[in-house]
Amino acid sequence: MCRTSSYLNDVLQKIYIMVLVYIESPKGQFKKAAFEAVTYGAKVAAALKTTCVALTLGNVKDAGILGEYGASKVYNIASSNVETFDSQSFTTAIANAAQALNASVVILSHSANGKSLTGRLAVRLNAGTVSGANAVPTLNGGFKVQKSVFSGKAIAEYTIDAPIKVISLMGNSIPAQKTGHSVAVSALDVAVPAPRVKVISTRTADGHVPLPEAEKVVSAGRGVKDPQNWGIIEDLAAAVGATTACSRPVADAGWRPHHEHVGQTGVAIRPNLYIAIGISGAIQHLAGVNNSRVIVVINKDPEAPFFKAADYGVVGDLFEVVPRLTAAFKKFKAN
Amino acid sequence: MKIMVCVSKTPDTTAKISFNAANTEFNSAGVAYIMNPYDEWYALVRAVDLAKQFPGSTVTVVHVGRADSDQIIRKGLALEANDAVRIDADPHTALFTAKQLAEHARSKNYDLIFTGKETIDHNGSDVGAMLAEFLDLPFVSYASKMTVAGTTATIERDIEGGVEVVEVKLPFVVSAAKGMAEQRIPNMMGIMKAKNKPLAVVPPVAFTDKAKVTRFELPKAKSGVRMVSADEMDELVRLLHSEAKVI
C-alpha cells in the first residue's frame, strides 16, 4: 500500500537478509517456470549464505512441494484481490511480503505477468533490477547478473548497486532441481488492494505446453505452402513431444494463430531443441530463436541462411524429409 | 484524449553487434539507428489512430536521448504525432529512463501512456511497468488489441500460449505488441508537416541509477552446422540423442 519511507528503508537495508521467490500459480497450479525460479532462488540464497523462501498468491494446490526445489519455507497470501492478475495488486502483495520478511533479493519468472511486475516491484522497493537474467549472480567485485541482450546476439553483465535487488529469471535458463523435501505452508497476512485491471476472460490452447515453456519446438514456415499441409508438422511434433510454432509469414497469412509466431515480433523462445522446417532464417526470425540450445534446420535450399545458425542441417524436400524424421523419432521412442 | 507515446532509439535489427576493446560499451560505429519497432509500429500507430477516433485528442512523443535522436523523433511526428519532448540525457537503464519519463508525465494529466512491449537492444520490458509504478497507474503489458469506449478500455494481452481479455479505466499505461496496429510508412505530407511541429528539449531530473552494464560479451560461436543426408533420418535422431543429448 504505502511506499516505504526512506528512513524505514535505511533501517531495513541493514538487516535485509533473505531471498524471496514469488511463484506464479495460474489456475492454482505450478508450471515448469515455478520450479526453475525456486531452484534459482535456492542457488542465489546459497551464494549469499542465506535462506530461500517462496511466496504464492491465492488458492494454490500443494504449495509445500516448492520445498523440494530448495525453498526452506513457503508463504501464501490468501486474498480475494489476487484471484486474477493485476500488476498493482500483485506488486503490493509481493512488496509487503518482501518487507515483512526482510528480503534482500526478490526473484520472479520472466513471464508475461512477471514482466509486468519486475519493474514495478523494483520501483516500489527502491531496488536495483535485472529482468530476464539467465545465470546465477556472481559476487566477485559486486552483485553481478547476466542476461541475453540484442535479441540473443550478445550477453550483458549488469552490476546491481543497491541493497535490495529484484531479478526476473528467463525461462529454460537453468534446470529445475530437486534438493529437499516438501515444507509446511504458512499464511501471510498482508493487505492487498482491489485490482484496477479486471480480467474478463482468458483463451489458451489446452493440451499443449505453451511455447515460452516448451523444451522442444517444431516450427514451420512458408515452405509448407498451404495450411492444409500442416498435419505433417503436427505429426512430427507429436512424435518428438514438441510444441508447434511458425514463422511470421505463416502467422500473418492466418495459417496458424498469432501466439505460435516465434521471432523478433512474436514470441522469443529458448528450447533445448528447435526444429525449423521450410524457414529460410531471416535475421528477424533468428532473433526469436537463437538462444535455443540445439537447432535443426530442414530446407530444400542449401543456401538458406538458417544453416549458418544451425547445429544440424538437412537439405531436402520437407514433404519427404519430415515424414521420414517422424518415423525415425517413433522408432527411437519405441526402442 | 491526451496521449503520450514513449519511444526509444535502438540499433537497426540487422546491425552488427560489437563492443569497445574493454567490452564495456556498445560499438556504435557504422550502426544505423531506428525507432524501436514496437514503439513505432504498434504503440505510436495505434495512438495516432485512437486520437482520430476522439476528436480534439493530442499525441505527444516523448524520448530520453541526445540530439542525435532528433531524426527519430521527427519520424514520430511525421507519423502524425502532434508534438514531441526530448529529455536530454543518455538512457542508460530502464529505471533511469522510466524516472525521466515519469517526471515529464507527472504534471501533464495524460489519459493514456503507450510504450512498446520491449526494446530490441536490452530486451527488458521494464520501462512501462516502472513508469506505471512511478505514476501509480494501472499497467497492461503485451497488448495485441485495444478499443476504448468512453473512459474504459478493453484490451487483449498476450499471455503464455494464449490471450487474456481485460478491462481498465483511463488513465493507464499500456505496452504494445504485434497486432495493435500495422506498420505504416510516413507520407510526404506528414514528413513536411513534421519539420514545423514542436520538439521541446528539456533537462533531465537528477537520479542515481542502481545498476549498470559492466561487461558485454558475444555468445560462443556455433561450432558449425553438421549436415545429415535427407535419407538418413535415423542417423539424425541418433545424433540428437547421443551427441546433442536433447532427446
Look up the CATH number of the domain holding residue A137.
Answer: 3.40.50.620
Share of chain B above pLDDT 70, in %: 100
β-strand pairing of A154-160 with B211-217: antiparallel
Q: How far is CA A154 from CA A285, B16, B28, B153, B220, in A?
A: 16, 11, 14, 38, 9
The answer to whether B75 faces chain A, any CB pair under 8 Å, is no
Judgement on whether residues A120 and A244 belong to the same structural domain of the protein:
no
**Domains of chain B (ranges, CATH numbers):** 2-217 (3.40.50.620)
CB A144 within 8 A of CB A167: no
Give the gap in angstroms from C-alpha A329 to the nearest C-alpha of chain B: 6
Q: Do B225 and A201 touch (CB under 8 A)?
A: no
Judgement on whether residues A170 and A68 belong to the same structural domain of the protein:
yes
Which residue of A lies nearest to B136 if distances are taken between CA atoms? Answer: A88
Residues 24-43 of chain A with CB under 8 A from chain B are 31
Which residue of B lies nearest to A260 if distances are taken between CA atoms? Answer: B161
Domain final residue pick, A172, A187, A202: A187
Confidence (pLDDT) at B13: 85
Picking from B120, B158, B228, the nearest residue to A314 by CB comes out as B228
pTM: 0.91
pLDDT in tens, B5-61: 999 999 998 899 999 999 999 999 999 999 999 999 999 999 999 999 999 999 999
Domain final residue pick, A187, A202, A232: A187
CB A207 within 8 A of CB A114: no
Residue A206 within any structural domain of the chain: no
**A325: number of Cβ within 10 Å:** 28
Judgement on whether residues A154 and A215 belong to the same structural domain of the protein:
no
Is residue A1's pLDDT more than 50? no
Residue A201 within any structural domain of the chain: no
Confidence (pLDDT) at B222: 79
Residues 126-155 of chain A with CB under 8 A from chain B are 127-132, 142, 144, 147-155
Mean pLDDT of chain B: 96
Residue A150 within any structural domain of the chain: yes
* Bridge partners for A203 per DSSP: B163
Q: Which of B172, B240, B245 to mutate to test the interface with A (most CBs of A within 10 A)?
A: B240
Residue A196 within any structural domain of the chain: no
Judgement on whether residues A222 and A182 belong to the same structural domain of the protein:
no
pLDDT in tens, A163-189: 999 999 999 999 999 999 999 999 999
Residue A192 within any structural domain of the chain: no
Give the gap in angstroms from C-alpha A294 to the nearest C-alpha of chain B: 7
B105: helix, strand or coil: helix
Confidence (pLDDT) at A210: 86
**B12: number of Cβ within 10 Å:** 12
pLDDT in tens, B60-111: 999 999 999 999 999 999 999 999 999 999 998 999 999 999 999 999 999 9
Helix axis angle for A87-100 and A112-124, nearest 10°, is 50
CATH of the domain at A267: 3.40.50.1220
Is residue A265's pLDDT more than 90? no
CA–CA gap between residue A311 and residue A156 (Å, rounded): 24
pLDDT in tens, A57-68: 999 989 999 999
CA angle A262, A268, A273 (to 5 degrees): 80
Picking from A201, A272, A325, the nearest residue to B165 by CB comes out as A201
pLDDT in tens, A139-168: 999 999 999 999 888 999 999 999 999 999
What is the interface pTM, i.e. ipTM, of the complex? 0.95
Picking from A91, A117, A158, the nearest residue to B212 by CB comes out as A158
Mean pLDDT of chain A: 93
Q: Do B162 and A119 touch (CB under 8 A)?
A: no
Judgement on whether residues A179 and A288 belong to the same structural domain of the protein:
no
Residue A1 within any structural domain of the chain: no
Q: How far is CA A149 from CA A146, A153, A290, A308, B128, in A?
A: 9, 6, 12, 20, 18
Confidence (pLDDT) at B85: 98
The answer to whether A9 faces chain B, any CB pair under 8 Å, is no
CB A256 within 8 A of CB A159: no
Confidence (pLDDT) at A5: 55
Residue A229 within any structural domain of the chain: yes
Picking from B129, B215, B219, the nearest residue to A116 by CB comes out as B129
Picking from B144, B166, B169, the nearest residue to A200 by CB comes out as B166
pLDDT in tens, A11-28: 554 455 799 999 999 989
CB B183 within 8 A of CB B176: no
What is the 3-state secondary structure of chain A? Answer: CCCCCHHHHHHHHHHCCEEEEECCCHHHCCCHHHHHHHHHHHHHHHHCCCCEEEEEECCCCCHHHHHHHCCCEEEEECCHHHCCCCHHHHHHHHHHHHHHCCEEEEEEECCHHHHHHHHHHHHHCCCEEEEEECCCCECCCCEEEEEEECCCCEEEEEEECCCCEEEEECCCCCCCCCCCCCCCEEECCCCCCCCCEEEEEEEECCCCCCHHHCCEEEEECHHHCCHHHHHHHHHHHHHHCCEEEECHHHHHCCCCCHHHEECCCCECCCCCEEEEECCCCCHHHHHHHCCCCEEEEEECCCCCHHHHHCCEEEECCHHHHHHHHHHHHHHHHHC
Judgement on whether residues A176 and A269 belong to the same structural domain of the protein:
no
Confidence (pLDDT) at A152: 87
CA–CA gap between residue A82 and residue B164 (Å, rounded): 16
Confidence (pLDDT) at A34: 97
Judgement on whether residues A128 and A49 belong to the same structural domain of the protein:
yes
The answer to whether A207 faces chain B, any CB pair under 8 Å, is no
In this prediction, residues B146-161 reach a mean pLDDT of 95
CA–CA gap between residue B3 and residue B108 (Å, rounded): 10
Domain final residue pick, A134, A155, A187: A187
Give the gap in angstroms from C-alpha A171 to the nearest C-alpha of chain B: 12
Judgement on whether residues A248 and A293 belong to the same structural domain of the protein:
yes
Share of chain B above pLDDT 90, in %: 92
CA–CA gap between residue A236 and residue A256 (Å, rounded): 16
Confidence (pLDDT) at B160: 87
Q: Do B214 and A321 touch (CB under 8 A)?
A: no
Q: Do A129 and B132 touch (CB under 8 A)?
A: no
Which residue of B lies nearest to A283 if distances are taken between CA atoms? Answer: B14
pLDDT in tens, A205-235: 766 788 988 999 999 999 999 999 999 999 9
Residues 133-192 of chain B with CB under 8 A from chain A are 133-134, 138-142, 144, 154, 157-169, 172, 177-179
Is residue A120's pLDDT more than 70? yes
Give the domain range for residue A10.
Answer: 6-187
Q: Do A328 and B234 touch (CB under 8 A)?
A: yes
Confidence (pLDDT) at A9: 53
- Which residues of B are less than 8 Å from A285 in CB distance? none
Residue A303 grid coordinates: 543456401
The answer to whether A59 faces chain B, any CB pair under 8 Å, is no
**B53: number of Cβ within 10 Å:** 11
β-strand pairing of B58-64 with B83-87: parallel
Judgement on whether residues A164 and A259 belong to the same structural domain of the protein:
no
Residue A22 within any structural domain of the chain: yes
The count of structural domains within chain A is 2
Residue B15 grid coordinates: 546491425
Judgement on whether residues A55 and A160 belong to the same structural domain of the protein:
yes
User: Which amino acid, residue A330?
Assistant: K
Judgement on whether residues A40 and A152 belong to the same structural domain of the protein:
yes
The sign of the dihedral angle between the CA atoms of A114, B205, B121, B137 is positive
Q: Do A122 and B227 touch (CB under 8 A)?
A: no
Judgement on whether residues A76 and A125 belong to the same structural domain of the protein:
yes
